[in-house]
A and B are shown apart, each in its own frame.
Chain A
Amino acid sequence: MLLRHTSKEVKEREGLTINPAKTCQPIGAMYAALGIHGCLPHSHGSQGCCSYHRSTLTRHYKEPVMAATSSFTEGASVFGGQANLLAAIETIFSVYEPDIIAVHSTCLSETIGDDLQQITRKAKDDGKVPEGKHVIFASTPSFIGSHVTGYANMVAGIAAQFPVSTGLKKNQYNIIAGWMEPSDMREVKRLSKELGVKIVLFPDTSDVLDAPQTGKHVFYPKGGTTIAELQSAGDSLASLALGPISAEPAAIALEKGCKVPFETLDIPIGLSATDRFIMALSKVASVQVPDEITAERGRLVDVMADMEQYLYGKRVALFGDPDQLFPLTEFLLDLNMKPVHIVSGTPGQRFEKQMRQLLDERSPETNFRNGLQADMFLLHQWMKNEPVDLLIGNTYGKYMARDEDVPFIRFGFPILDRIGHSYFPSVGYGGGLRLVEKILNALMDRQDRDALEEKFELVM
């Protein structure tokens, strides 16, 4: 057994987290900043932070992940990191020539009390920021929230620092992407185009973290939301924030800064959340939903109906991030499956409430916990007490899946041992279809593996 020390008996813990279902803020900020064209993320802290975040994102995407660091030493930690950040800004603009440097803080610089607003302003005042170039920032202390919080904070930073309200409205809508894969962002753009709605999507990591092999390393790949697009977001008619936790803070910042009204939706994972997204977008932009989208939806429902017998009542344990877990749970319920255990390391009452409400209505007996000590160790213990037929979560789930001999679907962040997530969306009706395919394959492969010889089915 890989996790041989995990006992069945659940004891409440207050100090120790074991096998976390979350990581820290700055990696989310780094990921978000990669979705801006010509932007170099910058980690204001020790080298290790930047190295770990780049490594994890690289393993997840199998793509270059460029980011710089303030390379704190003990001196900087005692006297403050201003000198390091100013030097970094100067070096970065001369060596790596980005259009934007997106600085995020770390637990180190936050504990010292470095003020990123003040330091970045000083960089501008001191002439260290070349004409037409930008330095933006987000405060992302690792001791608050999770990687999702860091993503939200950086996207909110982008929304607060770029969009301008010219007073002349543009016939376009902002879609603020919650934490999604490049494939998902590409799919959101396709669906919007299909509906005939002009959108500004930010951040947008498609064509950044799924770049083609060309024999050349393009330091700033062609993807990412451009500065012009971001600036114009202040003149958009409305914003849709896809993800109450990871995207809404940016929508609020835009409303505050540029008076762009917004609506918050779930990330369109699964049938119902995609329905709400399509409805909201068609309503806000006053467009008819084209037949092609209705047909896409129909194909998903068709498969759900045709294969319902293999899905019904199947018990699922899942872990991950709030904005994915909520619509995914809802989708599992739509599939007539049974979410049995759910954990997320990301704290927050809003998510807790949203999830509780859904579960109270449709699956009151589900074990659900988020925040401190809502970790994979707890999930594993729950699984030992009440076994499941399927586990859904990031790569770390494979240890539990192997020990408990449970089929496993990789979903979420990080996925370190398989490809696909960056190329094939899990949002939209097509994404839903892909999820159903994955779920069915996992369950039916298991049925085939375990079937008695006389019960082995040709047609299923």
Chain B
Amino acid sequence: MEANIHFPDPSKVREELIQRYPAKVAKKRAKSIIVNDPQLIPEVQANVRTVPGIITQRGCSYAGCKGVVLGPTRDIVNIVHGPIGCSFYAWLTRRNQTRTESLMDANYIPYCFSTDMQEENVVFGGEKKLKVAIQEAYDLFHPKSIAIFSTCPVGLIGDDVHAASKEMREKFGDCNVFGFSCEGYRGVSQSAGHHIANNGVFKHMVGRDNTPSVGKYKLNLLGEYNIGGDAFEIERIFEKCGITLVASFSGNSTVSQIENAHTADLNVILCHRSINYMGDMMETKYGIPWMKVNFVGAESTAKSLRKIAEYFGDEELKAKVEEVIAEETPRVKAVIDEILPRTTGKTAMLFVGGSRAHHYQDLFAELGMTTVAAGYEFAHRDDYEGRHVLPSIKIDADSKNIEELKVLPDPELFNPRKTEAELDALKEKGLEINGYEGMMKQMTKKSLVVDDLSHYESEKLIEIYKPDIFCAGIKEKYVVQKMGIPLKQLHSYDYGGPYTGFEGAVNFYKDIDRMVNNPVWKLIKAPWEKAGNGAGLAASYVTQ
């Protein structure tokens, strides 16, 4: 499928993007800038080191572990072991919303906990202070869980957060204390931290409570962090459909939900990049298959609900899902019908996350807009090209030191929810069971795919393509807007949302319409700066 809009010659664009770089840098970047062909799907270099000095969108392993995966669970006291900054910057900035059942329920999300490591702790070791901090947190709050996050100096000075956690866990008896070696220098981006977080949550939380969960269609929602209330909307839809959500990893979640997650019969994965490890490990240990879904976009939501119903293979559920879709669709349609004439034919660029740059293309498609270029900040090749490339991904030095848990079927709890034959039949029907086709298959031919886009490249792309909207994060927001192009933040949603489900689609349509058609973009030039406005007073006197 070729879009109607005119693409600049993508190979020339590619050359222009790298020409300013020193030779070695140019050579490296060239492998991450790819002209797409959805039929052939060329290889994209991804999850490799950012060249030092390049202005990158990427963050660190700690951000992926504490900020992304563990942050949204409300009743864990997350203590950051390190100097004060790391905990400070991850304090409430990701907009993980949460809703407790009563005002008495635990919610530590508005709090920031740190050992505030000082020079003497770096010199003489910080374990003692860490243990004091854990004790103080326990005495003050009596939480169900305390998680410890290692920042850069911790790994270097050799503080053993795991031993300290174990000691305190055993001492307390009624508080699960566990640690993460998620020092910022591990891996090449946030992605390493996601993997480390998955391992820790799987080892220390999942499977601790075997109470059978109640419900006919029980599933876990993986890789949904409830930014702007996204999980609330999905929860609403599930409830309407009669689907039981056992646990969410990790938006609007609690410790007990995650501890009980292995009693569900299906894992649906939204953010493939940050949580696919969990899907795989739970399948191996408990026999729960996972399936890639997307609740970003009204059509995608309907499609995902149908897939879930198909998985459970229950006519009652299928009928209910159709009923819900039929009920929700008219209000979505009313909005899109009104907006579509104003957005059709416009272009978007998405450079964000490890899954969002894919998911949001569905919403832009619903708006009649074309994604001319896209890429991820911290994804791997499988997120671009599909999971079939997994065996061919080379394990480099930076990935090698991220632990791969050796998971075996649980002797008692392993219970395949579907037989091999049943799974094959579902795959035949187009369900992405334990699979993901990646972003490029969905993108048009000759669109541009760029991994770990640099600041320099983003300015060039905007100059060349002049997109109607650019999607990225806070660091890019005002740079792009200074160029007169609206930027939609797809980490924080510009403090709006939710963008999932039917309600989310409506919100997004309205926001994008507002942004691309906002009169402010036409007010940038002062009247006296506009051509043909006369040379000032003197000239108008003459004409009079």
Contact = CB atoms under 8 A, between A and B. Distances in A.
Nearest to B21: A95
Nearest to B129: A15
Interface string A391-425: 00000100100000000000000001000000000
A71 B50 contact: yes
A168 B132 CA distance: 58
B121 A4 contact: no
Contact of B136 (A14, A23, A24, A56): A14
A92 interface: yes
Interface string B38-63: 00000000000111111111111111
Contacts of A141: 83, 119
B112 A77 contact: no
A108 B482 contact: no
A201 interface: no
B22 interface: yes
Interface string B199-231: 000000000000000000000000000000000
A455 interface: no
A325 to B, nearest CB: 18
Task: Tell me which of A62, A64, A416 has the highest count of chain B C-beta atoms within 10 A of its own C-beta.
Answer: A64
Contacts of B56: 47, 51, 69, 71
Interface string B281-305: 0000000000000000000000000
Contacts of B401: 74
B312 interface: no
Contact of B118 (A71, A372, A399): A372
A209 to B, nearest CB: 10
A458 interface: no
B483 A215 contact: yes
Contacts of B121: 143
A14 B126 CA distance: 13
Interface string A103-143: 00011100110000000000000000000000000000111
A347 to B, nearest CB: 9
A217 B483 contact: yes
A3 B112 CA distance: 11
B132 A14 contact: yes
B53 A95 contact: yes
Contacts of B481: 213
A16 B116 CA distance: 7
Chain B interface size range:
35 or more
Contacts of B106: 5
A85 B52 contact: yes
Contacts of B478: 58, 62-64
A370 to B, nearest CB: 13
Nearest to B462: A217
Interface stretch (B137-145, B363-371, B385-393): B137-145
Task: Tell me which of A7, A85, A91 has the highest count of chain B C-beta atoms within 10 A of its own C-beta.
Answer: A91
Nearest to A40: B55
Nearest to B480: A217
Contact of A68 (B53, B87, B103): B53
B449 interface: no
B83 A24 contact: yes
Nearest to B137: A16
Interface string B72-99: 0000000100111111111111000000
B60 A48 contact: yes
A20 interface: yes
B398 interface: yes
B361 to A, nearest CB: 24
B186 interface: yes
A175 B92 CA distance: 37
Nearest to B87: A20
A169 B50 CA distance: 47
A192 interface: no
A90 interface: yes
B112 A18 contact: yes
Nearest to A85: B52
Contacts, number: 273
Interface stretch (B150-158, B418-426, B536-544): B150-158
A65 B54 contact: no
A88 B53 contact: yes
A307 interface: no
B110 A3 contact: yes
Contacts of A75: 397-398
Interface string A371-401: 0110001000000000000000000100100
B198 interface: no
Contacts of B135: 15
Task: Tell me which of A16, A77, A111, A211 has the highest count of chain B C-beta atoms within 10 A of its own C-beta.
Answer: A16
Given A19-B112, A62-B478, A71-B49, A95 B54 contact: yes
A53 to B, nearest CB: 8
A354 interface: no
A355 B88 CA distance: 25
| Consensus secondary structure, chain A interface | loop
B172 interface: no
B465 interface: no
A141 B89 CA distance: 16
Contacts of A165: none
Given A47-B58, A94-B22, A95-B21, A106 B152 contact: yes
A7 B142 CA distance: 13
Contacts of B55: 66-69, 96
A17 B115 contact: yes
A173 interface: no
Nearest to A57: B475
A48 B61 contact: yes
Contacts of A214: 482, 524
Task: Tell me which of A54, A74, A146, A399 has the highest count of chain B C-beta atoms within 10 A of its own C-beta.
Answer: A74
A88 B52 contact: yes
B52 A91 contact: yes
A139 to B, nearest CB: 12
B441 interface: no
B184 A108 contact: yes
B156 A211 contact: no
Given A15-B115, A372-B116, A23 B110 contact: no
Interface of B: 20-22, 25, 49-63, 79, 82-93, 103-104, 106-108, 110-119, 121-122, 129-137, 139-141, 151-153, 155-157, 183-189, 397-398, 401, 454-456, 459, 473-475, 477-484, 524-525
Those 4 A-B pairs whose CB atoms lie nearest each other, nearest first: A48-B60, A24-B85, A15-B132, A88-B53
30 contacts: A7-B140, A11-B140, A14-B136, A16-B113, A17-B84, A18-B112, A48-B63, A51-B58, A52-B86, A69-B53, A71-B49, A71-B53, A73-B188, A87-B53, A89-B53, A91-B51, A91-B52, A94-B22, A96-B55, A96-B456, A108-B156, A112-B156, A143-B83, A143-B117, A143-B119, A143-B122, A143-B153, A215-B482, A215-B483, A217-B482
Given A15-B133, A111-B152, 16 more contacts: A4-B103, A5-B106, A14-B136, A15-B129, A16-B136, A19-B112, A20-B114, A48-B86, A58-B474, A64-B482, A73-B188, A95-B54, A95-B454, A107-B117, A143-B119, A143-B122
